[in-house]
Amino acid sequence: MNHAIERQTLRVLIWVLGLMLTATGASDLVAQSPDYNRQVLPILSNHCFACHGPDSQARAADLRLDDIPGLLAAGGEIIVPGKSEESELVRRLLSDDEDELMPPPDHKRPLSPEQIATLGKWIDAGAKTTPHWAFVPPQRPPVPLATPADWVRNPIDAFVLNGLNREGLVPSPEAGRATLLRRLSLDLIGLPPTPAELEAFLSDTAPDAYERQVERLLANPHYGERMALPWLEAARYADSNGFQQDGDTHQYVWRDWVVNALNTNMPFDQFTIEQLAGDLLPKPTHEQQVATGFNRCHLLNGEGGAIPEEQRNVIVFDRVDVTATNWLGLTLACAQCHDHKYDPLTMQDYYSFFAFFNNVPESGVPPGGSQYRIADPFIYTGTLEQRNQLAELEARARQLRQQYERLEPSPETALHYACWLSELESAESPQPPLEGQAPPTAGQVPAEIIELARVPAEQRNDEQKMRLRRHFLDHAAPEPLLTVRRELIAADQARDQFRESLAKVMVMSDARPRETRILQRGNYEMPGDPVTANTPAVLPPLPADAPHNRLGLAQWLVSAENPLVARVQVNRFWQHYWGQGLVKTPENFGLQSEPPRHPELLDWLAVEFRESGWDMKHLHRLIVTSSTYRQSSHLRPELLERDPANEFFARAARFRLSSLLLRDLALAASGQLNLQFGGKPVYPYQPPDIWDSLAITKERDFSYPLSSGPDLYRRSLYTFWRRTVGPGNMFDAGSRQACKVRVTITNTPLHALTTLNDETWVEASRLLASTVQREAGSDKERIATAFERVCARQPSASELAVFERQLAKGRELFAAAPEQAREFIGIGASEVPAESDPIELAALTNVCLTIFNLDDALTRE
């Protein structure tokens, strides 16, 4: 097609579109400027910043479209406010000349006519800019009015309902009580309600019945376990290092710290400071040091040829990425090799941030060893009693060492040593060299020592000298040196032995200050200008008196001036309940982020969070007690058409439970769940050959050490997480390789195979069948009880009928093959009650397995 004609037509099109935009929402023709942040900036950022943005290296024609005020102040004709037709920018967007056209055709990011019209209208309206919303500290917006007013239980509802009013939508009715309690229980503690809990709630007619359930669950110690799950994914927590040797670690100590901190409702500012800089607090407690394990959950590469300094830099890169993503919602990692293409983040910013994490006394590679490979720095942990005992042992060894060092270099010792040596050299019948000492005799001294002594002194090498001296100290030194030395060796051994029985958790430390330099192209071998630790320039500065270290950084993150941290967190809380945040890019609040739905609600929540004293339970309580949360999740036909993605929250969210929770649910419903808290990870069922691929490295045994007894039934949180091969039945979970803050839920046949065939679910079904056999008499009652334990509601008559039919079919088929029935119920390590009828139990087990696989069961409604 003729290019010029195409362009000509396009200009007409844009003109019409421009008129359309003008006409929509305005009765007159007064030009309304498109919103800079929501409409203009995304276009510039997406299509122009790659060459005309913050990255000074990539910048073309010395033109910065990310700094409009600067551009306007400099004058020129790129943008002439009020006059799009005179602006070079618009001319270039519409140019017929391929060499002039912007974006260049080979850029392959052409603008749509609508987008060009938007830019034109924005220029016509004066080219006004406002800073990116996320970089401006949130202010508490006024709570809007909305109808019906009695739907509003708290300000969340006012914002949501106000939005629905604007859209002409109405909220969904409140969910059924059973659904509501199951939802609440799974959201807050990750376990389904027991039949007794359900019954209590259904029969509670008090007006605050629901609120009391919320309080009960917030106070439940399983709350911390549930809320820890997303935090552990963000922290890329695993129980091994990754890479070929994949040595195990003891980072579970840090995992327990997280659960405990959440259960005690540690304020989020403290939660932040202790994890990022607990070691730098004045007189840090043991727990505060453990907290810093957050930044030691990185991978460690122990491959044969790994270059330590390269790997050390990779680890620090990872800390920058995790900290920036998790707290700031910034993709700072993009500024590692060049200035950020979209956000005002430079390499200077990146490496200044890097400098906070660059002082750790670490080599970059884990130590050798077999099963455990725990890299410096680490601390020994244990119960308070164990730590006290360790402190005593350490003190004793230290004290003996001091005593020994005072004695060792004394002139008397030196003289004694000289005499002893000369005795050995001559090896004649020895005389006591000093009064009161047992003489060394030739017979007592090993021949090799005597031989060493006969080497002329000036010819002895260092090692020979050391061996001689050690033998002297061990056997021939004068008292009290001899005794002190023996005691010291014993004390060191006692201390070391005891230490080895304790867990070692990797923690942070600034004990090895390093100069940080900008690494050109992110290459550790190409250091450039030096930088000092600092926060990104686009954000408020560190206070003048703040230390430029991790502690200063952590305190700065949770300061009132920080525009991002509170928003990023409340957005994640929202995601917890809706599957998606108010900002759908929880990992990115920068210029390329999705603009928030309900920006006022986001800001209100952020300010509320901070002003509540960073009270996490308060935020969760606010959300779950809102009418918004309590809505039904049913997708009304009206909503399917108007708002299928639930942008306006006219219904509750409905999503499949995470695989970790699905397993907990199955165990809980079966009655077999072991609710023990914390401690070493466990090894529940997994197909025997999953770790086989690891067996290629012969440095250790990689057979899967399947747990036995109650350890098979701990919550999924406690399953050993091998970083190279995650647990086989935990689909859709993060890989624990890098920070992950976004929830992903997929729907594949492999998931179906897992919950249909994995030993975990088959055994849970049999245990559930046994339980309901004991508890209920008739088929109907048994099915209904099992159904209720899984789905927390009574089955409908038609559902019951289907299961009854299936039970009958099962009986018929298993009766024809009783051996198969025995095989089927024999799956799993738990005992099958001797008195049970195999055919009956097998048929009911199959029904329970079907129940576990109902969409209803897999889903949080």
Return the residues of window 335-354 that contact other proteins according to CB under 8 A.
341-342
Among 512, 680, 774, 809, binds other proteins (CB under 8 A): 809
Among 501, 543, 748, 781, binds other proteins (CB under 8 A): 748
Tell me the window of 251-259, 283-291, 498-506, 739-747 that interacts with other proteins (CB under 8 A): 739-747
Among 427, 546, 813, 832, binds other proteins (CB under 8 A): 813
Nearer Cβ to other proteins (208/303): 303
User: With binding defined as CB under 8 A, does residue 753 bind other proteins?
Assistant: yes
User: With binding defined as CB under 8 A, does residue 858 bind other proteins?
Assistant: yes
Tell me the window of 10-18, 276-284, 496-504, 606-614 that interacts with other proteins (CB under 8 A): 10-18
User: With binding defined as CB under 8 A, does residue 170 bind other proteins?
Assistant: no
Among 249, 810, 839, 841, binds other proteins (CB under 8 A): 810
Tell me the window of 5-13, 134-142, 450-458, 471-479 that interacts with other proteins (CB under 8 A): 5-13
Q: Are 407 and 484 in contact (CB under 8 A)?
A: yes
Nearer Cβ to other proteins (438/752): 752
Distance (Å) of CA 627 to CA 103, 120, 158, 685: 47, 43, 10, 41
User: With binding defined as CB under 8 A, does residue 746 bind other proteins?
Assistant: yes
Among 296, 751, 789, 860, binds other proteins (CB under 8 A): 751
Tokens found for residue 419: 């005499």
Count of alpha carbons within 13 Å of 54, Cβ hemisphere only? 20
Q: Is 326 exposed, middle or buried (0-12, 13-18, 19+ CB in 10 A)?
A: buried
Convert residues 41-60 into a mask of x (bound to other proteins by CB under 8 A) and - (unbound). Answer: -----x--------------
Q: Is 217 exposed, middle or buried (0-12, 13-18, 19+ CB in 10 A)?
A: buried
User: With binding defined as CB under 8 A, does residue 334 bind other proteins?
Assistant: yes
Q: Smallest gap, in angstroms, from Cβ of residue 37 to other proteins?
A: 14
User: With binding defined as CB under 8 A, does residue 805 bind other proteins?
Assistant: yes
Q: List the interface residues with other proteins, window 762-801 (CB under 8 A).
A: 762, 796, 798-799
Question: What is the full DSSP assignment across 495-539?
Answer: HHHHHHTS-EEE-----S---EEEEGGG-TTSEEEEE-----TTS
Q: List the interface residues with other proteins, window 533-562 (CB under 8 A).
A: none
Tokens found for residue 521: 């192209």
Among 348, 363, 820, 830, binds other proteins (CB under 8 A): 820
Convert residues 687-706 into a mask of x (bound to other proteins by CB under 8 A) and - (unbound). Answer: xxxx-xxxxxxx--------
Q: If DSSP states are collapsed to H, E and C, what string results for 287-335?
A: HHHHHHHHHHCCCCCCCCCCCHHHHHHHHHHHHHHHHHHHHHCCCHHHH
User: How far is it, in rounded angstroms, from Cα 446 to Cα 467?
Assistant: 12
Residues in the chain: 861
- Please state, as a whole number, how many other Cβ atoms lie within 10 Å of the Cβ of residue 732: 16
User: What values do phi and psi take at 174, rounded to 5?
Assistant: -65, 145
Which H helix or E strand runs over 485?
helix 481-500
Question: What value, to the nearest 5°, has the Cα angle with vertex 385 and ends 379 and 386?
Answer: 40
Q: List the interface residues with other proteins, window 717-736 (CB under 8 A).
A: 724-726, 728-729, 731-732, 735
Picking from 194, 162, 44, the residue whose alpha carbon sits closest to that of residue 665 is: 194
Q: Smallest gap, in angstroms, from Cβ of residue 742 to other proteins?
A: 7
Residue 378 pairs in a beta bridge with 506
Q: Is 150 exposed, middle or buried (0-12, 13-18, 19+ CB in 10 A)?
A: exposed
Three-state DSSP class for residue 11: helix
User: With binding defined as CB under 8 A, does residue 92 bind other proteins?
Assistant: no
User: With binding defined as CB under 8 A, does residue 822 bind other proteins?
Assistant: yes
Q: Smallest gap, in angstroms, from Cβ of residue 729 to other proteins?
A: 8
Alpha-carbon Rg for the chain, nearest whole angstrom, is: 34
User: How far is it, in rounded angstroms, from Cα 435 to Cα 740?
Assistant: 73
Q: Smallest gap, in angstroms, from Cβ of residue 421 to other proteins?
A: 38
Q: Smallest gap, in angstroms, from Cβ of residue 141 to other proteins?
A: 25
- Is-cis flag, bond preceding 480, omega within 30? yes
Among 60, 750, 797, 834, binds other proteins (CB under 8 A): 750
Q: List the interface residues with other proteins, window 223-262 (CB under 8 A).
A: 242-244, 246
Convert residues 608-647 into a mask of x (bound to other proteins by CB under 8 A) and - (unbound). Answer: -------------------------xxxxx--x-------
Q: Smallest gap, in angstroms, from Cβ of residue 793 to other proteins?
A: 11
Residues 833, 837, 840, 845, Cα dihedral to 10°: 20
Picking from 388, 455, 398, the residue whose alpha carbon sits closest to that of residue 421 is: 455
Q: List the interface residues with other proteins, window 566-585 (CB under 8 A).
A: 580, 584-585
Nearer Cβ to other proteins (806/836): 806
User: With binding defined as CB under 8 A, does residue 34 bind other proteins?
Assistant: no
User: With binding defined as CB under 8 A, does residue 442 bind other proteins?
Assistant: no
User: With binding defined as CB under 8 A, does residue 1 bind other proteins?
Assistant: yes
Q: Smallest gap, in angstroms, from Cβ of residue 175 to other proteins?
A: 11
User: How far is it, in rounded angstroms, from Cα 796 to Cα 787?
Assistant: 10
Nearer Cβ to other proteins (1/206): 1
Nearer Cβ to other proteins (496/823): 823
User: With binding defined as CB under 8 A, does residue 177 bind other proteins?
Assistant: no
Nearer Cβ to other proteins (219/745): 745
- Please state, as a whole number, how many other Cβ atoms lie within 10 Å of the Cβ of residue 61: 8
Q: List the interface residues with other proteins, window 94-113 (CB under 8 A).
A: 108-113
User: How far is it, in rounded angstroms, from Cα 85 to Cα 347?
Assistant: 37
Nearer Cβ to other proteins (387/700): 700
Residue 113 CA from chain centroid, whole number: 42
Q: Smallest gap, in angstroms, from Cβ of residue 754 to other proteins?
A: 5
User: With binding defined as CB under 8 A, does residue 758 bind other proteins?
Assistant: yes
Q: Smallest gap, in angstroms, from Cβ of residue 713 to other proteins?
A: 18
